[in-house]
């Protein structure tokens, strides 16, 4: 196979899976000025056809995997290889195979075993046809280019004639358009200037007045006829401001660059100072040359007054803030310190230069997390709602310093939030007093717990002594009286009557002792709160005539004896209040377990109550119930029931 390729050497791609066949074809074509490329299967042949772009493909029909017909079909479906002629090589001479080959795009057949002369002849013929086809295509493209050039020349000449004719008409139209545009622009300028709220003047290149609008006529107190053709420095009286006005105007005429300056003058009556912001804009022709200047003066006297008032208010604020004992801090929208007063350094110990223009987390020393403070500060700015923030930190001596920070949003003239203002009042002494008061309350609660425990222990001791000692004495006395009656009653009827009366009296005393001992310390409490309340409701109904109903949950209620006693006393006190104040004839007591809490609800059908009487000084019953609820670490609520009457709810945590 030749290794050198001439510029016009045809390239032949041979696709055959049989090395012997490849050798025959290569040997046949080698040395005949062909560039030979081989592939040993269909996939490799497709890839090389795209890469090499051969002038002719010799394709074996019978190959494993992808046969020659499928390879040819794919070649013809690829735009890069569709026009490459394909000659099939096959040992099958049946007509149907040839027809199939021609259908898929083949141009010729070489029958195996191949004849050298036949191969050379067929290859040479198709390469010549390929060469002639390319020459014809090249000639056709050359003819098309030549024809296109001729057509382009004709179009170019025609376009030049049309352009010349159009330019003549356009020049005439352009002059008319320019004249009309100038007139229209002048009308627009006059309309705008005469209806504008600003002072507007027009000057030529000699700095002489060509036009002033009605607003400027009123400002100067002179008409356009009086001022036409005059320079600003020719107006009387000539102020220093007008001299500067003249110099700026001449500089704009000379340089063609815009300029502006502040003109300060007096009103016509001389009763107030006027401030005008003057802007000079050069008028240019089409060549960029200065042909005049337009001066626009905007009266911003009111704005200046507001700025001065703002400066005054800022000065007053600074005076107030810098002499205030309270901490005053202003924050921008990014929570940076844009103002801090001297009290900030005095109270926090942070130098002003250290905290200035810094965010809180850069100089934070408070005990509250800085992120929480920033979040609340941003919430104030976003919602506009003020907030009270307690900040505490340790002072230089290690003591706790407390400040009540009142944060509010700051707004601009358009009611847009621009930041926040925080004023902190030192409440260290107040917080210390509150802590001492809370400690006293804690101690008082502890004393209350101890007192309640001691009271219950004393009741328990007294109940035991009454029941055991006094009860036993009464039983002995009854036995003695009964014995006296047994021995001497038959002989003495008066004595028997006396002993019977004494036994009855002793029995009443025994019942009173038992009742008193039970009231002091019900023995049923040792069986649990459910049995104790059931006994209490029955006793209450028997003694008062008020119907009582106890509602119990399906699950067990488990309370130790101390907690059960406190709940029992609260229910007992509540039932006493129902009897004294409600006028009810029914009371329902409900026990339930809700979300880790035991709830006890006492509801009557009485006349309700006045909520204002709950906190009256002599409401000792309610105070006692609340104290017991606090000992239980629970809650106690009293309210009027929806259907009438009063409802008391006790909630205690389940341990």
Let me know whether 378 and 293 are in one domain: no
Instruction: Tell me, yes or no, whether 119 lies in a domain.
Output: yes
pLDDT classification of 378: cutoffs 50, 70, 90: very high
pLDDT exceeds 80 at position 472: no
Q: Which residues pair with 297 in a beta bridge?
A: 199, 278
Q: What is the pLDDT, as a whole number, of residue 381?
A: 92
pLDDT classification of 386: cutoffs 50, 70, 90: very high
Let me know whether 405 and 448 are in one domain: no
| Structural domain ending residue among the three candidates 517, 538, 572 | 517
Q: What is the CATH number of the domain that holds 293?
A: 3.30.450.20
Q: What is the CATH number of the domain that holds 102?
A: 3.40.50.2300
Instruction: Tell me, yes or no, whether 445 lies in a domain.
Output: yes
Let me know whether 19 and 135 are in one domain: yes
pLDDT for 299-316, tens place per residue? 777 777 777 777 887 787
Instruction: Tell me, yes or no, whether 111 lies in a domain.
Output: yes
Let me know whether 546 and 452 are in one domain: no
Let me know whether 590 and 615 are in one domain: yes
pLDDT exceeds 80 at position 336: yes
pLDDT for 476-517, tens place per residue? 777 887 887 777 877 788 888 888 888 888 888 877 776 776
For range 591-620, the mean pLDDT: 76
Low-confidence winner among 25-29, 209-213, 650-654 (lowest mean pLDDT)? 25-29
Instruction: Tell me, yes or no, whether 188 lies in a domain.
Output: no
Query: What does the DSSP assignment read for 55-107?
Result: SEEEEES--SSS-HHHHHHHHHHSTTTTTS-EEEEES---HHHHHHHHHTT--
Instruction: Tell me, yes or no, whether 287 lies in a domain.
Output: yes
pLDDT exceeds 50 at position 86: yes
Burial call 575-589: b when 16+ CB within 10 Å, e when fewer? bebbbebbebeebbb
Instruction: Tell me, yes or no, whether 561 lies in a domain.
Output: yes
Domain encompassing residue 411 = 331-426
Let me know whether 602 and 644 are in one domain: yes
pLDDT classification of 408: cutoffs 50, 70, 90: very high
Q: What is the pLDDT, as a whole number, of residue 239?
A: 73
Percent of the chain with pLDDT over 90: 6
Let me know whether 413 and 439 are in one domain: no
Q: What is the pLDDT, as a whole number, of residue 382?
A: 92
pLDDT exceeds 80 at position 108: yes
Compute the mean pLDDT over every residue in the chain, rounded to the nearest whole number: 81
pLDDT for 55-71, tens place per residue? 888 888 888 888 888 88
Higher-scoring residue by pLDDT: 518, 51:
51
Let me know whether 410 and 490 are in one domain: no
| Structural domain ending residue among the three candidates 386, 401, 426 | 426
pLDDT for 208-267, tens place per residue? 988 888 888 887 788 888 888 888 888 766 677 778 888 888 898 898 899 888 887 666
Taking the model in full, what pTM does it have?
0.38
Let me know: does 85 contact 127? Beta carbons within 8 Å. no
Q: What is the pLDDT, as a whole number, of residue 101?
A: 83
**Torsion-angle region of residue 65: left (phi > 0), alpha (psi -120 to 50) or beta?**
left
Size (the chain), residues: 655
Q: What is the pLDDT, as a whole number, of residue 524?
A: 64
Let me know whether 410 and 446 are in one domain: no
Let me know whether 638 and 540 are in one domain: yes
Longest CA span, the chain? 174
Instruction: Tell me, yes or no, whether 159 lies in a domain.
Output: no
Let me know whether 128 and 236 are in one domain: no
pLDDT exceeds 60 at position 18: yes
Q: What is the pLDDT, as a whole number, of residue 443?
A: 67
Strands annotated E in 78-216: 86-90, 108-111, 199-203, 209-212
For range 31-48, the mean pLDDT: 85
Let me know whether 420 and 438 are in one domain: no
Using CA atoms, how far apart are residues 36 and 14, in angstroms rounded to an integer? Answer: 7
Q: Which residues pair with 15 in a beta bridge?
A: 39, 59
For range 592-611, the mean pLDDT: 83
pLDDT exceeds 50 at position 3: no
Cβ atoms within 10 Å of 71's Cβ, excluding its own: 25
Using CA atoms, how far apart are residues 23 and 1, in angstroms rounded to an integer? Answer: 10
Instruction: Tell me, yes or no, whether 532 lies in a domain.
Output: yes
Lay out the sheet containing 56-60: strands in order across: 35-39, 11-15, 56-60, 86-90, 108-111
| Structural domain ending residue among the three candidates 276, 299, 322 | 299
Domain count, the chain: 5
pLDDT classification of 523: cutoffs 50, 70, 90: low
Using CA atoms, how far apart are residues 66 and 126, in angstroms rounded to an integer? Answer: 25
Q: What is the CATH number of the domain that holds 559?
A: 3.30.565.10
């Amino acid at each position: 196979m030749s290794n050198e390729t001439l510029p016009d050497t045809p390239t032949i791609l041979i696709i055959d899976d049989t090395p012997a066949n490849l050798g025959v074809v290569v040997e046949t074509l080698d040395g005949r000025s062909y560039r030979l490329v081989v592939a040993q299967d269909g996939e490799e042949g497709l890839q090389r056809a795209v890469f090499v772009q051969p002038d002719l493909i010799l394709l074996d029909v019978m190959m494993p995997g992808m046969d020659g017909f499928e390879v040819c079909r794919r070649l013809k479906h690829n735009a890069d290889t569709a026009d490459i002629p394909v000659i099939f090589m096959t040992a099958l001479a049946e007509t149907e195979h040839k027809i199939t080959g021609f259908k898929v795009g083949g141009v010729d057949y070489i029958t195996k075993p191949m004849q050298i002369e036949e191969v050379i002849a067929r290859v040479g013929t198709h390469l010549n046809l390929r060469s002639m086809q390319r020459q014809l295509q090249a000639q056709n493209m050359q003819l098309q280019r030549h024809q296109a050039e001729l057509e382009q020349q004709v179009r170019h000449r025609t376009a030049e004639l049309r352009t010349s004719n159009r330019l003549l008409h356009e020049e005439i139209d352009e002059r008319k358009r320019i004249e009309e545009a100038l007139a229209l622009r002048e009308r627009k300028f006059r309309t705008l200037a005469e209806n504008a709220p600003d002072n507007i003047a027009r000057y030529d290149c000699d700095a002489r007045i060509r036009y002033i609008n009605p607003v400027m006529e009123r400002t100067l107190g002179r008409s356009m006829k009086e001022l036409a053709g005059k320079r600003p420095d020719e107006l009387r009286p000539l102020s220093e401001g007008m001299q500067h006005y003249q110099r700026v105007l001449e500089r704009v005429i000379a340089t063609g660059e815009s300029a502006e300056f502040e003109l300060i003058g007096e009103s016509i009556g001389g009763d107030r100072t006027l401030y005008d912001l003057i802007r000079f804009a050069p008028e240019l022709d089409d060549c960029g040359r200065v042909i005049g200047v337009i001066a626009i003066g905007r009266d911003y006297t009111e704005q200046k007054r507001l700025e001065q008032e703002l400066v005054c208010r800022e000065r007053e604020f600074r005076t107030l803030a810098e002499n205030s004992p309270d901490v005053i801090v202003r924050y921008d929208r990014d929570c940076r310190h844009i103002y801090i007063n001297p009290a900030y350094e005095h109270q926090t110990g942070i130098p002003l230069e250290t905290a200035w223009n810094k965010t809180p987390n850069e100089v934070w020393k408070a005990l509250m997390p800085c992120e929480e403070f920033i979040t609340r500060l941003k919430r104030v700015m976003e919602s506009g709602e003020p907030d009270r923030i307690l900040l505490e930190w340790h002072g230089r001596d290690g003591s706790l310093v407390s400040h009540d920070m009142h944060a509010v949003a700051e707004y601009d003239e358009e009611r847009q939030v621009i930041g926040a203002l925080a004023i902190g009042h030192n409440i260290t002494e107040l917080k210390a007093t509150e802590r001492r008061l809370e400690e006293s309350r804690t101690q008082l609660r502890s004393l209350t717990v101890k007192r309640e425990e001691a009271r219950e222990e004393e009741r328990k001791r007294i109940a035991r002594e009454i029941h055991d000692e006094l009860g036993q004495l009464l039983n002995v006395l009854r036995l003695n009286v009964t014995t006296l009656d047994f021995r001497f009653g038959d002989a003495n009827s008066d004595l028997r009557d006396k002993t019977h009366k004494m036994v009855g009296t002793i029995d009443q005393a025994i019942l009173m002792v038992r009742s008193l001992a039970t009231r002091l310390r019900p023995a049923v409490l040792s069986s649990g709160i459910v049995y104790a309340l059931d006994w209490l409701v029955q006793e209450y109904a028997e003694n008062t005539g008020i119907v009582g109903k106890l509602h119990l949950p399906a699950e067990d209620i488990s309370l130790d004896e101390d907690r059960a006693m406190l709940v029992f006393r609260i229910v007992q006190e509540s039932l006493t209040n129902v009897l004294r104040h409600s006028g009810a004839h029914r009371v329902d007591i409900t026990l339930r377990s809700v979300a880790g809490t035991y709830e006890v609800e006492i509801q009557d059908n009485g006349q309700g109550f006045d909520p204002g009487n709950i906190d009256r000084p002599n409401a000792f019953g309610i105070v006692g119930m609340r104290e017991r609820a606090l000992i239980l670490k629970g809650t106690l609520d009293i309210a009027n029931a929806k259907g009438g009457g009063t409802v008391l709810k006790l909630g205690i945590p389940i341990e």
